[in-house]
């Protein structure tokens, strides 16, 4: 607490406000502000009721900063909000001899209907991810079956080709042997290349 008659060096102020996010959702914020009095004279005489003035200023700045962002980002960007509030409070309270050390948003309360809608959105996202994973699994299974079928057809075709070649080679061998036999029975000299 900051008082005119007995100025404390450090102080902690709890701040509760209602404000609207950028997308017009009403929020209840609970935060705590940590202060340090750098100049007790300015804190006592530069402003009447310094604690009240700082509280009002903090509430105004919180409303302003929260009003710039949508509800989802209020939860995601607490640290950035805390920093922006401290910066703005620091500039405004400097002429009063007060330094803002830290601000922490403790709690953000939203209306029950918004909570329910947010929960439904989370559940819908979860179902969507599950559906995507299931469809990707089915897709992979179909691709694996198709690749297996393709591979079996290729192997079957290659086997059939080998069979045809072997059959043709066998017929060719019989023909060559028959021709050789005919030539040899006539007592002729036959030169055969070594690669045959």
pLDDT per residue over 39-56, tens digit each?
A: 888 877 877 888 888 888
Burial (CB count within 10 angstroms: exposed 0-12, middle 13-18, buried 19+), residue 25: middle
Torsions phi, psi of 191, nearest 5?
-95, 125
pLDDT at 110: 81
Whole-number Å distance between alpha carbons of 78 and 163? 74
CATH number of the domain at 10-110, out of 3.40.50.720, 3.30.479.30, 2.102.10.10, 3.40.190.10? 3.30.479.30
6: phi then psi, degrees, rounded to nearest 5:
-135, 85
Residue 26 has pLDDT above 70, yes or no: yes
What's the pLDDT tens digit per position in 111-159? 778 777 777 777 888 888 888 888 888 989 889 998 988 888 888 888 8
- Domain ranges (residues) in the chain: 10-110, 112-158
The residue with greater pLDDT, 10 or 58, is 58
Q: HSE of 151 in the Cβ direction (CA atoms, 13 Å)?
A: 6
Task: Report how far residue 107's alpha carbon sits from residue 74's, in angstroms, rounded to the nearest whole number.
Answer: 11
Q: Is 97 helix (H, G, I), strand (E, B) or coil?
A: coil
């Amino acid at each position: 607490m900051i008082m005119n008659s007995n100025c404390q060096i450090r102080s902690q102020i709890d701040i509760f406000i209602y404000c609207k996010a950028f997308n017009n959702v009403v929020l209840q914020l609970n935060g705590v502000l940590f202060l340090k009095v750098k100049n007790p004279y300015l804190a006592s005489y530069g402003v009447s009721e310094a604690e009240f003035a700082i509280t009002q200023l903090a509430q105004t700045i919180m409303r302003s900063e929260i009003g710039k962002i949508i509800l989802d980002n209020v939860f995601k960007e607490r640290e950035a909000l805390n920093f922006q509030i401290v910066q703005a409070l620091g500039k405004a309270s400097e002429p009063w001899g007060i330094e803002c050390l830290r601000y922490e948003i403790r709690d953000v309360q939203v209306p029950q209907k918004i909570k329910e809608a947010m929960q439904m959105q989370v559940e819908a996202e979860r179902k969507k991810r599950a559906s995507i994973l299931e469809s990707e699994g089915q897709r992979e299974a179909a691709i694996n079956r198709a690749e297996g079928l393709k591979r079996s057809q290729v192997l079957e075709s290659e086997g059939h080709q080998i069979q045809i070649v072997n059959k043709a080679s066998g017929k060719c061998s019989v023909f060559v042997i028959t021709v050789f036999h005919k030539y040899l029975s006539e007592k002729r000299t036959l030169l055969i290349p070594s690669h045959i």
